Amino acid sequence: MCFCRSGKVSLSVCLSLPLFLSLSRLFYRCEAGSCVGRAWRCHIKMDPETRSRQQIVLILLGALTLASCYPQHRCEYEDYLLGRCRSPLGRRPKCTEIRLSYCEDMPYTETLFPNALGHTSREEVELGAEYLLMSVVETLLSSGGGGGGGGGGQCSPDVRMLGCAVMTPRCEHDWPMQPCRHVCETVRRRCAAAFDAIAMAWPYFLDCDRFFVSEEEGCYDPLEGLRVEQDGDDDYYGGLPPAEDPSFGSIRFGHHSEAELASVLSQTAERCSDVARTYSIGRSYEGRDLLAIEFSGNPGRHELLEPEVRLVGNMHGNEALGRQLLLYLAQDLCNEYRQGSPRVQALINTTRIHLLPSMNPDGYEVAAAGGQDATEDEEEGRKYGARNVGRTNAQGIDLNRNFPDLASIVYRRRRLRTYRTDHIAIPDFYWFGKVAPETYAVMKWVRSIPFMLGANLHGGDLVVAYPYDLSKHPQQHKLFSPTPDEKVFKIIARTYADSHPTMGRDQAWCGSSRASKNGIINGAQVSSFAGSMQDFSYLHTNCYEVAVNLGCDKFPAEEDMENAWHENQEAFISFLEGAHRGIKGLVKDEGGNGIKGARVSVRGVRHDVTTAEQGDYWRLLAPGVHILTATAAGYTRAIKRVRLPPGMPHAGRVDFVLTKTALEPNATALNRVEEEVVVVVRAEEEEGGGGGGYYSEQDDYERFDPYNHFERYTASALAARRQERRAEKPWWWSFFVGSGGGAAPTWLLRKED
Ligand SMILES: [Zn+2]
């Protein structure tokens, strides 16, 4: 009657038949010997007492049926391992010795089969893709897709031992032990970046929820032995790894593929999570993330009066040194901070530092691939930058020529007495041209953060070049073309060059910078070109940016990298500290509220800076006496005379309080113009040639990208990326193809979102 031969048949089936029969009789009313609505007959006429007694009997019968079914539920071995039942039936397996070479360093010596994956013998384990993965996983993670270790060392051999704990479970007294879930979770967290770096999914059989149990259920730590070897720090698997581990946080001086770069950045941010975070400023044409890392006492947000600095590398894809140096710098800042360096701690606590190691990852991939093909003969050409493969982005656009050319606008207006060299609006015609998604992402980035100092890193020369890059005379290409802030730019450039052991030497040039003066030069004197990032930064934002040319070799050999780092380490730190020069302060109203977008002017310098969201501003200045004016629409202006002594270790604090005025909003602006402008010469004529409405400039400035290039580019790039991914298998796939065992481990392929 009962179909409970296999424990897999559900209890409801066991119950349903007898109960159905009894209940059907009970609930149909018996009237005059026949059941209403049914053909069944009531043979016995029952009084209510008899009927209730029969009900009890039938219910007991049902319960008995259920009880008789239960013991026959067979606890299969897999059910037991998956926690579905308590005691497995059948032949009880015995502990056997682990005889799998990749699992021999486990803290126990005996295992038993079948394991949770259903393998019934050592031979079956050896044939499985899971074991194959464990045998190569350390190699895969440490190779990271390109050359050298990509941080996989952080999770080896842990991940392999975790796999062994599932494939060869610990056996004691012929009983399998379950590995701890929290150990699995820690390893998974620590391995995330390494798996990401090789685009591999977390293996299904290391699912912490399924194959591992909690402490309450009685688990053991499969990495026990490992922990003892690694100096017994109890924190090791609970929180941050120990700082004492000498290999931990050490910098690998070599080239890093795009995946390795991402992995190192995220590991660094994780290691210094109190003061660092990574973020993407957008995507390249081929859909690669433009990854930045930020260091700050409060990562993720601007703090009042804290200066923001940025360093951008690899704008030219074939100029790889800057990209690498920024990666080393990120790790160095994190290491020094953790080791308690007072200098780096002070720097990070008072400065918000953004590093974008690669602005052109697509170009880099091309250049890196070409670099591997270089033969001995090509060595010479490679060294002196003759090979420019990968310089541009994937669309063939030179990113350092692709920013809006605002210098031309300024030059055209320079006979106007009212001309300015700050916050020049981007003319609409710029957007009609080809705007690279990388350029666009950087433009959006530099407008969204109140950067006040920056550098972009190049190769092929050894000199710091400062604006303008565009010659003020269209026919003279090596013409000295200074900004109104020449003094300031010289100080900024000199900070870097003087902290570098060789850059400041006269004979150190290797490119075209013959006119360089001890390692610094006006950009236009090297070669004149329009649309550079530093010209744009100066003319459109509050950021003072220079171009640091790091050396003659654009793509140095791996063995030269460490030396290059030591040459630039001090220069980077000094440069970043340079954010604390000049003056800074708040422009407030009488109620103490910061005024956003107020202008701070320096008499004699036609370049204003504007206040950020909360009314804070930074103005780099050369030492000396300066007359400062703060203005804002709808307020009276305030003037201050400041003396800035040389060698001040911090920026001087100069605040302004502005009073609301009853006058029209434009009146203050007019007021300022009246004072500074004696005669307006040929205003109309100049405006006509200006290419953008000069008088409505302030309104235009707020406008950004009227054609929304961003959406267009990212949509197409993402589609292309998805297609490419579908077609291609990751490089490590070959390890698993034709391995003889079972099905190919498609579970290692990451699912695209
Ligand atoms: Zn360059």
277 shares a domain with 186: no
Is there a single domain that holds both residue 366 and residue 427?
Answer: yes
Domain assignment present for 698:
no
- What total number of domains does the chain contain? 4
Give the Cβ contact number of residue 375 at 10 Å. 7
Given a cut of 60, is residue 36 above it in pLDDT? no
Of 27-31, 394-398, 449-453, the one with minimum mean pLDDT is 27-31
> Residue 59 Cα, ligand 1 centroid: separation in angstroms?
87
Tell me the C-alpha distance between 89 and 590, whole Å: 83
Whether residue 444 sits in one domain with residue 532: yes
The whole-angstrom separation of Cα 323 and Cα 329 is 10
Q: What is the pLDDT, as a whole number, of residue 726?
A: 56
Question: CA-CA distances (angstroms) from residue 457 to 239, 317, 492?
Answer: 36, 11, 14
Q: Ligand 1 mean position to 410 CA, how many Å?
A: 24
The alpha carbon of 457 and the centre of ligand 1 are apart by a number of angstroms equal to: 7
Cα angle 50-52-55, degrees, rounded to a multiple of 5? 110
Joined together, the tokens standing for residue 109 give: 């010596």
| Residue 262 domain-assigned (yes or no) | no
Which residue did the predictor score with more confidence, 74 or 574?
A: 574
Q: Which of residues 660, 676, 692 is at a domain's end?
A: 676
- β-strand pairing of 520-522 with 461-466: parallel
We report the CATH number of the domain holding residue 131 as 1.10.2000.10
Strands 308-312 and 544-551: unpaired
Do 94 and 197 lie in a common domain?
A: yes
Ligand 1 centroid to Cα of residue 600, in Å, is 33
What are 426-457's pLDDT values in tens digits? 998 999 899 999 999 999 999 999 999 999 99
- Quick one: 511 and 601 in the same domain? no
- pLDDT given for residue 44 in this prediction: 45
Query: Does one domain contain both 464 and 442?
Result: yes
Decide which of 676, 693, 711 is a domain's last residue: 676
Rounded to the nearest angstrom, the distance between the alpha carbon of 460 and the centre of ligand 1 is 7
145-149, 488-492, 677-681: which has the highest mean pLDDT? 488-492
Tell me: do 362 and 225 sit in the same domain: no
The verdict on 381 and 480 lying in the same domain is: yes
Q: Does a structural domain hold residue 139?
A: yes
Residue 648 identity:
M
Rg of the chain in Å (alpha carbons): 36
The b-or-e profile of 74-90 (16+ CB within 10 A means b, else e) is: eebbebbbeeebeebee
Q: Which of 346, 263, 352 is nearest to 307 (CA)?
A: 352
- 292 and 182 share one domain: no
Q: Distances in Å between the alpha carbon of 88 and those of 80, 81, 172, 178, 672?
A: 6, 9, 16, 15, 90
| In a shared domain, residues 64 and 90 | no
- Chosen domain end from 188, 215, 237: 237
Rounded to the nearest angstrom, the distance between the alpha carbon of 300 and the centre of ligand 1 is 29
pLDDT given at position 352 = 97
What are the CA-CA distances from residue 678 to residues 119, 133, 415, 684 (Å)? 92, 79, 13, 16
Residue 235 scores a pLDDT above 90: no
Å from CA of 553 to ligand 1 middle: 12
Domain harbouring 322, CATH code: 3.40.630.10
What is the Å distance from ligand 1's center to 432 Cα?
A: 25
Ligand 1 center to residue 721 CA distance, Å?
27
Alpha helices (H) along 339-405:
342-350, 361-373, 379-383
The pLDDT tens digits of the residues spanning 330-370 come to 999 999 999 999 999 999 999 999 999 999 999 999 999 87
Q: At what angle do helices 558-577 and 320-338 cross, to 10 degrees?
A: 60
The CATH number assigned to the domain holding 622 equals: 2.60.40.1120
- Do residues 704 and 447 touch, judged by C-beta distance below 8 A? yes
How high is the pLDDT of residue 668? 45
> Does a structural domain hold residue 249?
no
Q: Do residues 462 and 552 touch, judged by C-beta distance below 8 A?
A: yes
278: in domain: yes
Residues 521/509, Cβ–Cβ less than 8 Å: no
The yes-or-no verdict on residue 240 having pLDDT over 80 is: no
Residue 520 CA, ligand 1 centroid: distance in Å: 16
Distance 458 CA to ligand 1 centre (A): 4
Q: Which residue has the higher pLDDT, 244 or 116?
A: 116
* CA 709 to ligand 1 centroid distance, Å: 24
Peptide bond into 440 cis (omega under 30): no
Tens-digit pLDDT profile for residues 640-660:
999 998 888 889 999 999 999
Q: Is residue 197 part of a domain?
A: yes
Question: Cα(544) to centroid of ligand 1, in Å?
Answer: 18
* pLDDT band, very low/low/confident/very high, at 309 (cuts 50, 70, 90): very high
| Ligand 1 center–CA 524 separation, angstroms | 14
Pair 623, 668 in one domain? yes
User: Containing domain of residue 46, as a range?
Assistant: 11-73
CA distance 257 to 368: 8
Look at 326 and 202; give whichever has higher pLDDT: 326
| DSSP class of 660 | B
Closest by CA position to 383, among listed 551, 516, 497: 551
Please tell me the pTM assigned to this model: 0.62
Cα of 356 vs centre of ligand 1, distance in Å, is 15
700 located within any domain: no
Tell me, in angstroms, the distance from the centre of ligand 1 to residue 580's CA.
Answer: 27
pLDDT value of position 721: 65
Tell me how far apart the alpha carbons of residues 131 and 189 are, in angstroms, rounded to a whole number: 22
CA–CA separation, 124 and 548 (whole Å): 59
Beta strands at 175-176 and 171-172: parallel, antiparallel or unpaired: antiparallel
One domain, residues 435 and 460: yes
Q: Are the C-beta atoms of residues 347 and 576 closer than 8 Å to each other? A: yes
For 510-565, what is each residue's pLDDT tens digit? 655 565 668 899 999 988 999 999 999 999 999 999 999 999 889 999 999 999 99
In a domain, 299, yes or no: yes
